[in-house]
Amino acid sequence: MDQVPGSPKEPQDARDDDGLPGCHRHPDRPSGIRCTRCDRPICPECMVSASVGFQCPECVRGGAGTGHAPQAAAPRTIAGGTIAADPRLITKILLGLNAAVFVAVLATGGDLSPLVNRLDLLGLAADPSRYQLIGVAEGEWYRLLTAMFLHQQIAHFAFNMLSLWWLGPPLEAALGRLRFIALYVLAGLGGSALSYLLAAPGQPSLGASGAIFGLLGATAVLLRRLNHDMKPVLILLGINLAFTFLWPNIAWQAHVGGLVVGAAVAFGMVHAPRDRRTLVHAATCAVAFLAVIAVVWVRTLQLVG
């Protein structure tokens, strides 16, 4: 007997010759598996592994019945960050900021650019053009940050940017964008703080080297966490430290400060317990920032007290 389409006798699910219903997203694919949430049939392509059974993509995206937000099921990096489509975005932005400041310095006089005197890291010195004291000790704390993006010599700029391009993307992909930004800024501030503490008050310094050494230390921590071969990064670190102490006119304090802070922050990020990641990451960054503030405060009291 022919059956009229749409009659009450029509099966709810389309079935093949074996009687299996078709996937609700791909009706031509019979499947004996059903979503544990909505009970609709799903084919292997649509199956999303769950703690019990499989779920369909719609239920996973909607977070139905779980009590969790839909993004809770999204894949995460080793540090708990969201996996981004472009793992180099923040690195590119940092490169762009450094390049923009470098071009501005060249366009306003190069070595004689007034931007250098306004933005470099300086503890305390007299400015003859303004007949006043300038520097971090005089309240110009912004110099701790602006010096991180300031370069005068093209060789210095090129070396730091090549290092950033080499070290940045793997760390950005492993940590996530927000954590990578925090790592870079805190490492740079750590280098500036130690330079401010130990260098002569009137000795200016500049460059992204403190942040770059922080990325180098973070890379070593990450490789150790992943049980990867650490020989290449340790050799590179040894070479850079040798240049730091043997090459003239290098602010070794910034390199060491950035290395220590970068390694410490990265350790807190990649070793945090999974169930307390956010708390541990926030605490790690807060402690690092407070340590920078404490060092700057102590040095300021020494200079103005």
* Tokens read off for 35: 């979503």
- pLDDT value at residue 121: 95
Q: pLDDT at position 18, please? A: 55
Long-range contacts of 104-111 (CB under 8 A, 24+ apart): 105/150, 105/151, 105/152, 110/152, 111/152
Helix, strand counts (H, E) of the chain = 10, 4
pLDDT tens column, 4-20: 444 444 344 445 555 67
Given a contact cutoff of 8 angstroms between Cβ atoms, the answer to whether 215 and 167 are in contact is yes
Radius of gyration of the chain (CA): 28
Written as one letter, the residue type at 64 is: A
Written as six digits, the tokens of 183 are: 């790592």
Q: Among 281, 256, 288, 258, which Cα is nearest to 187's?
A: 258
CA torsion angle 52 54 58 64 (round to 10): -10
Nearest to residue 36, comparing CAs of 48, 61, 21, 53? 53
Residue among 53, 43, 46 nearest 23 (CA):
43
Of 79, 84, 90, the C-alpha closest to 280 is 79
Backbone angles phi, psi at 200, to 5 degrees: -60, 140
Taken in order of first residue, the domains within the chain and their CATH numbers are: 20-62 (no CATH), 88-304 (1.20.1540.10)
Structure confidence by residue, pLDDT tens digits, 230-281: 888 899 999 988 888 888 788 899 999 999 999 999 999 999 998 898 999 9
Annotated catalytic residues are 209, 255
pLDDT at 69: 45
DSSP string, 12-28: SS-B-TTSPBBPSS-TT
pLDDT of residue 12: 43
Query: Where are the strands (E) in the chain, listed by range?
Result: 48-49, 54-55, 125-127, 132-134
Residue 161 neighbours by CB under 8 Å, 6+ apart: 95, 98, 99, 208
Listed in sequence order, the residues at least 6 apart from 266 whose beta carbon sits closer than 8 Å to its beta carbon are 171, 175, 183, 217, 218, 221, 222
| Two structure tokens written together for 135 | 């520097």
| pLDDT averaged over 10-residue windows placed end to end, the chain, 305 residues | 42 52 83 79 78 74 52 63 83 97 94 90 86 91 96 93 95 93 98 96 93 96 90 90 84 95 96 90 97 97 88
Residues whose CB is less than 8 angstroms from the CB of residue 209 and which lie 6 or more positions away in sequence, other chains included: 160, 191, 250, 251, 254, 255, 258
As given in the structure block, the two tokens for residue 157 are: 């700029």
pLDDT for 214: 97
